[in-house]
Amino acid sequence: MSRRLRRAGSDATMRRMSQPLRPETLALHADAGIEATPDVAPPIHVSTTYVAGNSEGLVYSRSDHPTRRRLEAVLGALEGGHAAVYASGQAAATAALLHLAPRRVAIARGGYHATHYAIEALARFGVEKVPLDAPVGKGDLIWLETPKNPTCELQDIAAHAARARAAGAWLLVDGTFATPVLQQPLALGADLVYHSMTKFLSGHSDALGGVLVAREPKLAEALRAARTLSGAVPGALETWLVLRGVRTLSLRVRQQTATATRLAAFLAPRVARVWHPSLPTHPGYELAQRQMKGPGPMLSIELGSEEAARALPGKLRLFQDATSLGGVESLVEWRRRQDPEAPPALLRLAVGIEDPADLEADLAQALDAVGA
């Protein structure tokens, strides 16, 4: 079966299945029928080239790859769209900017710093970065990061979608912190959803990747074609690792969210500030009730001083002092080490799947040790 027929057949199957099936089921079955194989676990394909005239229409792995087809089918189904995966989250973000070629990119201050660097790098080609509420026109891009790194602040996706439609602009939503389990931007009117697959989609801190999921299939096809030219494809092992990881996405994210919610309540009376949408004190609390299916697995805390914040990671026993997020292990980071825009006393907590009581105890002893 040719690539076009195989992908079209998978998309048609999922259109029939996606309405009744929930994320836990889609993560396991959305790639059914992609390959004719008796394997229960999806095989990993390592070949870079294929025998001419094969029934799958495969030629060279930069343009198409069986394991990549599977992963794109699953991620597309989870978001209700059509996926194109990339070698890293940054590659996916840059691919979106290059393909859409906006004159202006409207984006809030803060959030993931490397996104701002990518936009600013295109200034020499006439791309202008403007504030989120600045006027936009036809072909411009509104870029929402919601929840935003590291404070979990939220943006109203539906409201910005209406604004984008009225102006003839594009709307892209970075949903890395929420994952498809907790937030569905395409259903709220976004044109594209972006995720760093390195984070929750992989879930094990062992695979680099990124994904763009388009509402319209023609946009996804164009992104894949451009990816073939740029060569920004994930390797076979990384693709397979993310596919394996995404099978348990819902289980992990729901547990991590429950633990993050518990830790937010535990920490609120003990530190200067807790940033988590489960708390009524968070600026996105009410919006999270409408827009998300849970407040999310990420939280940040601010201590009374930068000195205490810098010392805390070294006192923790279960939280490892490392950047990144979304893995099964809990991580802590004095965020200003990576992001100069972060508040000086802020620590970002990426909650893992450890027992919440153990994580509470670890935080309590570390806060005592730094006098917080």
112 is catalytic: yes
How far is residue 322's CA from residue 307's CA, in Å, rounded to a whole number? Answer: 18
Residue 273 designated active-site: no
- The packing angle between helices 217-230 and 89-100, to 10°, is 110
For residues 313 and 372, the answer to whether their CB atoms sit within 8 Å is no
Q: Which of the residues 112, 148, 273, 336 is marked catalytic?
A: 112
Return the bridge partners of 274, or none. Answer: 301
Helix, strand or coil for residue 176?
Answer: coil
Question: Which of 199, 194, 159 lies closest to 290, judged by CA?
Answer: 159
Please pick, among 148, 163, 199, 273, the residue that the annotation labels catalytic. 199
The gap between the terminal CA atoms of the chain, to the nearest Å, is 63
Residue of 31, 174, 191, 362 marked catalytic:
174
Three-state DSSP state, 274:
strand
8 A C-beta contact, residue 104 and residue 134: yes
Token pair for residue 3?
A: 């690539």
Q: Residues 3, 11, 50, 62: which is the catalytic one?
A: 62
Strand partners, 348: 300, 333
191 tagged catalytic = no
Q: Is 62 a catalytic residue?
A: yes
Q: Are 223 and 93 in contact (CB under 8 A)?
A: no
Rounded Cα distance between 277 and 284, Å, is 6
CA dist., res. 65 & res. 71, Å (int): 10
CB-side neighbour CA atoms (13 Å) of 319: 29
DSSP letter for each residue of 44-109 = P---SB--TT-TT---BTTT--HHHHHHHHHHHHHHTSEEEEESSHHHHHHHHHHHH--SEEEE-S
Catalytic residues: 62, 112, 174, 199
